[in-house]
Amino acid sequence: MKHCIRGIARLAGALSLLLASISAHAFCTFSAPDTSTVVESYDAASDRYYSSWSTSLSPGSCVFQQNFQSSPPGTTQTGLTWTTPSYAGRGATQVCEFRAEGQVEPASFFLTINAAECAALKQPGSGWTFLPPAPPEAVGTPSLSAFDMDPATGQCGRGLVPVYRFVNNGWPARGNHRYVADERVRQEMHARANWVEEGVAFCVLRSERVPLASMNYPNLSPGPGISPGFGGFDNCPVGWESTGSLTTCIIGSNMPTFDTAVGADAAHQGPYTALTGMLSAFGSVVGYAGIGGSTSRSFVQMPDNTPGGGFFVTSADRSAGSASSLRTESPAPVPGAFRPFAGGFEVDMDLVVKYSLFVKQVRAASGDAYVQPILTLVDKRSGKRLELSAGAIGTPLASDFATRDAATGEVMVFASLSPASRLGRSAGLPSLQTSHVFDSDHSWGFGGDFEWRVDRNEAAAVLALARSIDPALSAEPGDYAFDKFGIKGEVVGDASIGYNLQQMSVSVVRP
């Protein structure tokens, strides 16, 4: 069984863009934002850092454009940003921007609000070219402003964040400046050879660490067609994973295809929620014929405008074998394109899996039942896929291990999220065990927030375990690209499990 669920976020996003366009052209009500977020990038070949940002043109008019200070080609973001006013005023001073002369491309840039520095570097022979900012009504170099330190205290004003300027005196990055608004990174810079701190360059509104890539479990909604009047599912087209669309597939193993979708008004929500613990309002339930009056077979609850869903899987629907499962799969926007451990970053990044998962009921007196996240990577060297599962709730004992997935045949590595695990770090709950006959005391179920973080070295340990099952898999973490992610509920023998997913995301972040 394999079906797609359409993401309503896509429709909502298109509608909001359409409404914004109509509003702009009919009433000219929107205005340009007065702040810019500066994004840092890094060039590994030259060991240089760069700042990029954009500013809006013609604020308050019917013409809406932006000027861009783009990152040089080939650079990668560091995950560090800071936000500051775009234009001078209300205490902010215009930033002078200069581009280095005579450097091998990509050339360095220099930022300052110091009037003496700005004047000196504008002089012929300084080795720097001044890039005059464009006014709000003209196209050109994007504008940027910042705040000076309080002369009375020698510190940034209340609520402002200092940006420290570092210069590299070593080859090949000589003359490159880095602007650091993150205190932890500032301390790291002091430990690096050739880098010298030059003090506070200016003050800004705030600084942040942001994911370099992030994919969230989408809102779910039935597609058109299989049950008149209620909607249903589309069959997943061949190659659906490579479309980059906002879809989620529901895949059943050793189970017949879902054939019915029914509306779930208030009168019908109780029996389903009693099995799954999903308290969010939902608009429909998808399962088998007769589901409108029965909860004895597997089903999925579709929430209204929120991610996640409620799930019930029972061996009563099994068509073959001793194990059956129901899993969701959400593809990456460009599957196979992003390699989290391929290198080129300023520091090794963490691959982070977060999810909120709760089990409401288990019936496995003569079997096993469990639910787990699934993250799929593709080995670009061998073409094989590798499944990672970080944490689980259910009857099996929790420990790190590798095996082959019964449904896909692909190697699966399970990380228990325990402190003793070598397969990454847990920043949330560990794997959670239930009894074989279990009913949660809480209306929403047993579980909570899980978070698994794995860096390049820990990924190598994951691969070593995977290669004990299939030596054809690459041992190099950089060979693996993110492909898709989801949640799987599985029952072995005579068993059932009801659970709910509140949110799930996969991201690449700075440690």
pLDDT of 267: 53
Picking from 350, 370, 389, the residue whose alpha carbon sits closest to that of residue 495 is: 370
**Which residues lie below 8 Å from residue 301, measured CB to CB, with a gap of 6+?**
264, 272, 273, 276, 278, 282, 284, 285, 309, 310, 311, 500
pLDDT tens string 415-430: 999 999 999 999 999 9
203 alpha carbon, distance to own chain's centre? 29
> Cα–Cα distance between 506 and 48 in angstroms, integer?
29
How buried is 177 (Cβ within 10 angstroms: 0-12 exposed, 13-18 middle, 19+ buried)? buried
Tell me if 240 sits within 8 A of 6, measured CB to CB. Answer: no
For 245-277, the DSSP string reads -SEEEEEEESSPPP-EEEE--HHHHHHHHHHH-
Q: Nearest to residue 163, comparing CAs of 148, 181, 144?
A: 181
**pLDDT of amino acid 232:** 30
pLDDT for residue 418: 93
What pTM, to 2 d.p., does this model score?
Answer: 0.83
pLDDT for 240: 40
Give the DSSP H/E element, type plus range, for residue 115: helix 115-121
Residue 493, beta-bridge partner list: 367
Per-domain residue ranges for the chain?
Answer: 34-209, 213-509
> Among positive and negative, which fits the CA dihedral 260, 261, 267, 269?
positive
Pairwise CA distance, residues 87 & 68, whole Å: 14
Q: Is 218 exposed, middle or buried (0-12, 13-18, 19+ CB in 10 A)?
A: buried
Beta strand pairing call for 2-6 and 234-235: antiparallel
Q: Using DSSP, state whether 477 is helix, strand or coil.
A: helix
**Hey, how many other C-beta atoms are within 10 angstroms of the C-beta on 173?**
20
pLDDT of residue 129: 95
Sign of torsion over alpha carbons 111, 115, 116, 122: positive
For residue 398, what pLDDT is reported? 82
pLDDT of residue 9: 34
> What backbone phi and psi angles, to 5 degrees, belong to 203?
-120, 145
SS3 content of the chain, % helix, strand, coil (to 5): 15, 45, 40
- Characterize the bridge pairing of strands 385-390 and 411-415: parallel
Please, how many CA atoms are within 13 Å of residue 281, restricted to the half-sphere of its CB? Answer: 6
Q: How far apart are CA 142 and CA 56, in angstroms?
A: 8
The confidence score (pLDDT) of residue 2 equals: 52
DSSP element (H, E) containing 81: strand 76-85
Please answer whether residues 85 and 34 qualify as being in contact, where contact means their C-beta atoms are separated by less than 8 angstroms. yes
Q: Which two three-digit tokens encode residue 64?
A: 């809406």
Instruction: Indicate the DSSP class of residue 382.
Output: T
In this structure, the strands spanning 2-6 and 177-180 are unpaired
In the predicted model, residues of the chain with pLDDT beneath 70 are 1-33, 57-65, 136-137, 218-248, 264-268, 281-282, 292-293, 304-306, 335
pLDDT tens per residue across span 471-485:
999 999 999 999 889
Residue 219 has a pLDDT of 55
